[in-house]
Structure 1
Amino acid sequence: MKFPSAARAVLLALALLTGSSAALADEGAVTLVIFKGGWVFGGSAGKGVMTFHGKTYGLTAGGLDYGLVFGGSQTTLQGRVRNIRRAQDIAGVYAAAGAGVAFGAGIRGIVLTNPNGAILELGGKQVGLMANFDLSGLAITLKE
């Protein structure tokens, strides 16, 4: 079956348009150190860095938790942020439901998404005494 050249041009244009946004998305490396504590209500605060296109950006993080939250911990997370087009896309509020227990040292992994479409895939070590089964939000800002 042979397509007329106009139909081929339209199909090619549609393919380029639908694939262009995914082709422009990129990823960067992220390290965050987060301190968390609470009793029913909890809070977290931390800082970190993102490396994107050879440049390092400072990050700050903070959030609130509600649910079964008890204790305090420090978590060091490393991983990547995917689906970003510019460094500013990492900024935003990430929401999650989670559960965990740390007594001494533990391992933590998390995948979060923000309204910009950025996907954080992080894992690392958690140290402290913490039990949680909660809803939480983490706001990340980019220091420029």
Structure 2
Amino acid sequence: MRRLFGVAFVLMLAMAGATAARADEGRISLTIFKGGWIIGGSGGSGTLTFNGRRYPLSIGGLSYGLVFGGSKADLYGRVSNIRSPRDVAGVYGAVGAGAAIGVGARAIVLRNEKGAVLELSGRQVGLIADLDLSGLAIGLR
């Protein structure tokens, strides 16, 4: 019986390692426009580069909280823990805080329901202050 549990444990580890080994990563660039007064909206577009191919992305979202002003953010970075371009599509949620007056730097890490992780940084231009719970939806076009 003990040996059976040992074999089962080794098989589970092997399956977990095989699943993690199949996950891949890519590069992503996003342009996001955001604006609002208490309730805000965001939209934009982007590109995913994955396994040598480029995939166009669409972006949309709503935020609620302390939102005032408008901005444009150009973000670039890495997307990890994906197996196909479809894994990038989904809803990303994060509690965030930031401010930009003129040109400001932005950095953020987001995760969607499929486990894709975006690590983004870039610059933000505009006059905006936000302390909000945001939801960002990314879709393949």
The reply to whether TM is greater than 0.5 is yes
Distance 2:128 2:25 in 1: 31
**Matched residue, 1:106:** 104
- Shift, 1:76, TM fit: 0.2
Deviation of 1:136 after TM superposition, in Å, equals 0.4
Q: How does 1:88-107 map to 2 (within 5 A)?
A: 88-107=86-105
Whether 1:65 and 2:63 are equivalent positions in the alignment is yes
> 1:81-113: per-residue Cα shift (whole Å, max 9, x none)?
100011100000001111111110000011011
CA distance in structure 1 between the partners assigned to 2:107 and 2:51 by the alignment: 25
1:19 to 6, 9, 17: 17
Distance in 1 of aligned mates of 2:100 and 2:20: 38
Aligned residues: CA RMSD: 1.7
Separation of aligned partners in 2, 1:59 and 1:26? 18
Q: What amino acid sits opposite 1:87 in the alignment?
A: P
User: Once the two structures are superposed, what CA deviation does each residue of 1:49-107 show, in whole Å capped at 9, x if it has no partner?
Assistant: 00000000000001001000000000000001100011100000001111111110000
Normalised by the length of structure 2, the TM-score is: 0.93
Equivalent pairs counted in the alignment come to 140
Task: Give the corresponding residue for 1:129.
Answer: 127
**1:120 maps to which of 95, 118, 121:** 118
Paired residue type of 2:117: I
SS in 1 for 2:114: coil
Whichever of the two has the greater Rg, that structure is 1
**Matched position secondary structure for 2:115:** coil
Amino acid at match of 2:104: G
Q: Percent identity over the alignment?
A: 56
TM-score (norm 1): 0.91
